[in-house]
Structure 1
Amino acid sequence: MAEQPSEENRPESSSLPDDVWEKFVQDSERDIRASAPKEPSARARMVTERLRAMDEAQARAAGGGKRRTGRKRKAAQPARPEGWRASPPLPVLERRSSRRRRVWSAVGVVVAVALAVVAVNPSAALSWLPGGLGEDGAGAADATLLSPETGRPSTAPPDAPAGTPTREEPFAGSPAARWEAGADAIRLPEAKAVNGVPADRIRAALKGTKDFLVAANLDPGVLKGEHPKKALDLVDPAEKEYLADLRDALRDPTVKNDPVWTFTRFDPAEVELAGDVRVRGRMTVEAVKGTAGRAVIKADYTFVYPMARVGGGDEVSRSIVRRSVEVEAVDPARFRADEGHIWITDVNGEISNDDCRDGDGFIRPQFLADRQGRPEPSGPARDPYDRSKDLKPADGDAGCGVVSRT
């Protein structure tokens, strides 16, 4: 019980009348009691526990999963060769190579509600998609495709009509149902001279960037775990340390050097592609500030892979991989440039729906059975389709988390 102010605490020099002092004592006691912490009632504790249990049950019903965030890696910085001119010495171009990976396991926060809607009226649910996916049995492939992305979206794409992905309809319930498929979805902007870099050099860098993205993320053999020779051959041979790291990762994957940071690879003994790969993104050209004769190509694309188990089963689990790649283009009158190759300065990525394991060299999509009995996920849910935000570097391990949809 809070102690009451006593007559002993009354200031000796106080000239307050007794009735005023008594009122002060009563007010002080009342305020102390009002501010003292109170133990919640048994009913309040019961309601709190019930709400917590409901939240946990809902998360488990939604598929429960984990996410993990990879560590930022910064390799040594080999210098680009000096320019052809010998006097005066030209600036040396350094590459800031950081391969970063964020990985998120699927937990489908809205899956339970979505399945309920489809169960009640699947035809009506599918008819909500533009393009008339209704009772005529049209598939997601017939949906009206979105126009190409020309700038950063202001918001995440809206929820697609509920649906369960199958081998026949691998993009049911996904915003990717309205995305373009394959290499044709990677469009090149018009090549113009930038910061003293001629238009033909910009054009070559743009094409090389697209070729690298296709070779690393869409090549059928690479997706099955084969050696990404085409992608490696595109990298400037002068980036010796970068190429050595990539080859080491492919030969002997480790936690610190996993090839999936750069190449999309699945284990062909476990899963197979169950449809085309949907792609959405953009490519831009910017001047490198502070140095004439240098420009950077910035590519930011999201790839959605519908995967099914090898050997049968109709269940499809989508893995979503977002990649950003930066490639430098230079004025050959100022800097040396190797024809037919690209100079990669930065690679960043985020992988959604994986098993939270680093170092085995594969992306392993999680199916419903894989998520049962797993530890409860933590952290706020992320939307892997939200392209309104930049990919952020991941410094150190940040554990596993959840995604809101796949």
Structure 2
Amino acid sequence: MSEKGPSVSDEDWAAFVEAARKDGVGSGAVPEPRRRLRRPERSEPEGWRTGPAWREMDGRGKARRQVKGVVGITLAAGLLLVVLRPELVTDRLPQGLGGPGATTPLSAETARPSAPPSQEVLPDRPTLKEPFKGSPALRWADGAAGIEVPKAKAVGGMSREEVAGALDSVRRFLVAANLDPATLRGERPTDAIELLDPLQKDVRPRIDRWLTEPDKDNNPLWLFSRFDPAEVRLAGDVVKTRGRMTFEAGERSGEVRVHADYTFVYPLVKTRPGFDEVARTVVRRQMTFALHDPAKVVTTRGMLSVLRMEESAGNSDCARAADGFLHPQFSEDLAGAAPHPGGPEIDPYDRSKDIGDLSHTCGTVTRT
């Protein structure tokens, strides 16, 4: 499918913003990156910048690009696709997976780790019976149990009950977008979409385009974890999850912002009869959502706006055309293939850095 360009260039956008400043449009709000034109009594909800300029997915841009202006916020979506080189997996393994307490669940993540999980030398390959062998995720929580909600309190002019509702909605979105079996096998993630505010500019039409006409500029993987059911299926019924959720007052009264940083580990097997090799794809997402007070912001009560979305995927074929699916690679896919030319080595289990601080070139995962 042909590539689609932005509906407005960055140069035209900058000219428009400068003209608005000179004309006094939205006076006092123009310098803010997450404001729209003022309205009497209530301001507009925050919207998505049109075109692919607000995200980088082809490995040639910076990690994040922010556009300031009258009309909206910036959504940053970084897509990091890395391929698996078998020799790097076979000589590295997380420590502690074979000794006493190897399967003792980890306590919940309460702060950003200072380093990636440690590794040891001897490999321990996954099997259909034990799809998380050889992975730090062996001790992670199963599925939705790994998405824990912090205790709510009143912030940003929002009540404790409203904050609790925002946290619960974010949790439900993450489950529907990354763990729901129908979403994983490529079906429409209706439950996730219905949690997003239809008054946030162009959100639902844009998602519809991502799902029905996916390409490098319209990719549902920026929000949803999806696999081609004709190619692969989950090995078992467990996805491992680890991360944390925080919240804070927004930039204006009547706004609470919820930050989510989670990694999902998917064990997969080809759908071909008799195939029994397990490969894992590791997806990390950093997202920020907002819940607004309808008395102060033009919004739908109780529904979420997306302010930030960044994604990284370990073991998804970089060479494949963007078709809206993650494509894990198995040993037979790499047999006889030329070594990947350059690119950084990435540990997909390293949660100590922001996704935006990572290289967005196609590289090599050190383990899955």
Q: TM-score, normalised by structure 2?
A: 0.76
Q: Which residue of 2 aligns with 1:151?
A: 111
Shift of 1:79: 7.3
Distance 2:290 2:304 in 1: 7
Q: Which residue of 1 aligns with 2:353?
A: 389
Shift of 1:74: 11
Shift of 1:80: 7.3
Counterpart residue type for residue 94 of structure 1: E
**Cα–Cα, structure 1 residues 273 and 166, in superposed 2: closer, same or farther, change >3 Å?**
same
Q: Which residue of 1 aligns with 2:323?
A: 360
Q: Which residue of 1 aligns with 2:284?
A: 322
Q: Percent identity?
A: 41
Q: Which residue of 1 aligns with 2:46?
A: 94
Q: Which runs of 5+ in 1 are unaligned?
A: 1-72, 116-124, 132-142
Distance 2:98 2:7 in 1: 48
1:194–1:286 contact (8 Å) kept in structure 2: yes
Once the two structures are superposed, the pairs formed by residues 199-218 of structure 1 within 5 Å of their partners are 199-218=160-179
Moved over 6 A (4+): 73-83
Q: Which residue of 1 aligns with 2:139?
A: 178
Distance 2:45 2:203 in 1: 15
Counterpart residue type for residue 166 of structure 2: A
RMSD: 2.9
**Is the counterpart of residue 374 in structure 1 residue 337 in structure 2?**
yes
Match for residue 247 of structure 1 among 199, 204, 208: 208
**Cα–Cα, structure 1 residues 111 and 193, in superposed 2: closer, same or farther, change >3 Å?**
same
1:325–1:348 contact (8 Å) kept in structure 2: yes
1:78–1:241 contact (8 Å) kept in structure 2: no
Once the two structures are superposed, the pairs formed by residues 129-278 of structure 1 within 5 Å of their partners are 130-131=101-102, 143-159=103-119, 162-275=123-236, 276-278=238-240
The alignment covers a number of residue pairs equal to: 309
Distance 1:184 1:74 in 2: 41
Counterpart residue type for residue 98 of structure 1: A
Q: Which residue of 2 aligns with 1:334?
A: 296
1:79–1:94 contact (8 Å) kept in structure 2: yes
Shift of 1:350: 0.4
Distance 2:167 2:235 in 1: 30
Deviation digits for residues 349-403 of structure 1, max 9, x if unmatched? 00110111242111010001111233322133111000010110789xx542111
Answer with 1 or 2: which has the greater Rg. Answer: 1
Matched residue SS, 1:283: strand
Q: Which runs of 5+ in 2 are unaligned?
A: 1-5, 14-32, 48-73
1:74–1:98 contact (8 Å) kept in structure 2: no
Shift of 1:210: 0.9
Counterpart residue type for residue 127 of structure 1: G
Shift of 1:337: 3.6
Distance 1:167 1:229 in 2: 30
Distance 1:382 1:114 in 2: 13
